[in-house]
């Protein structure tokens, strides 16, 4: 799909993937990044929906963890919640449904690989949750969150990788007899809006990750490398 992927057919296709009949105007807004809005006369963008969706996500995951793990204390529950609602984990979920293809980005952001940036994917995923809440209500929004998050919670290996991708990658490399991961990070953009790109090499596997911090970029690259190594194992 090209830049303006939020046409009727694309919106209908995404709604079908999500299994929720979201109002088309709200869904289009949820897919609109601020870079697109700025290039189109300061049009509305998805950051307010993202704000709402963050709360929808957090509540749904909190309730699921609380009811599923009655033996865990507050600290353990908080740690698990933080891992599942993290940028890295949300970006993985977004990639699983091909969300990047539907995001409306400004030309510069699109040319710089914005559809693969963890921060954009995670923020858009939250905005979709927010749009779902407004369009069809709290129960349907929570159900969508859990439908997308549960596979991560139910897979111990993937869950562990989402919690701590760098450690998981190092441990997997050791088990496979591969050399330890080697990271390199570059940064572009002004100080107030830096984009970091991390590259990690583990033997013949080399992957990249982006983020708004060095740590976030390294975690994104590590999670991708972990998936590639896992597929080869």
Q: Which residues have a catalytic role annotated?
A: 54, 126
Distance CA 139, CA 81 (A): 19
Hey, what are 90's tokens?
Answer: 């949300």
Which alpha helices (H) appear in the chain, and where do they start and end? 8-18, 24-30, 34-39, 47-68, 74-84, 87-96, 107-111, 118-136, 138-154, 156-163, 165-176, 214-232
Q: Distance (Å, rounded) from C-alpha 161 to C-alpha 142?
A: 24
What is the spatial distance between Cα 168 and Cα 131, in angstroms, rounded to a whole number?
A: 34
How far, in Å, CA of 15 to CA of 91, rounded?
Answer: 18
- First CA to last CA distance, the chain: 32
For 52, residues 6+ apart whose C-beta sits below 8 A from its C-beta are 129, 130, 133, 134
For tokens 């939020």, what's the residue? 6
Do the annotations mark residue 123 as ligand-binding? yes
50 is in an annotated binding site: yes
Binding residues: 50, 123, 126
Binding residues for Mg(2+): 50, 123, 126
């Amino acid at each position: 799909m090209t830049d303006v992927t939020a046409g009727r057919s694309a919106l209908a296709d995404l709604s079908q993937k999500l299994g929720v009949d979201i109002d088309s105007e709200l869904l289009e807004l949820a897919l609109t990044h601020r870079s697109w809005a700025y290039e189109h006369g300061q049009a509305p963008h998805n950051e307010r929906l993202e704000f709402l969706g963050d709360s929808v996500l957090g509540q749904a995951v909190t309730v699921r963890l609380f009811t599923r793990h009655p033996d865990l204390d507050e600290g353990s529950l908080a740690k698990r919640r933080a891992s599942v609602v993290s940028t890295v984990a949300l970006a993985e979920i977004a990639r699983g449904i091909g969300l990047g293809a539907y995001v409306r980005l400004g030309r510069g952001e699109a040319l710089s690989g914005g559809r693969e940036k963890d921060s954009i994917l995670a923020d858009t995923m939250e905005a979709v949750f927010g749009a779902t809440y407004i369009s069809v209500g709290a129960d349907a929004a929570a159900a969508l969150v859990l439908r997308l998050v549960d596979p991560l919670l139910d897979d111990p290996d993937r869950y562990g990788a989402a919690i701590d991708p760098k450690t998981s990658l190092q441990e997997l490399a050791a088990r496979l007899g591969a050399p330890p991961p080697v990271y390199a990070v570059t940064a572009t953009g002004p100080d107030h809006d830096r984009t970091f790109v991390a590259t990690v090499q583990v033997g013949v596997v080399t992957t990249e990750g982006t983020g708004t911090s060095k740590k976030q970029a390294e975690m994104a690259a590590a999670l991708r490398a972990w998936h590639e190594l896992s597929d080869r194992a």
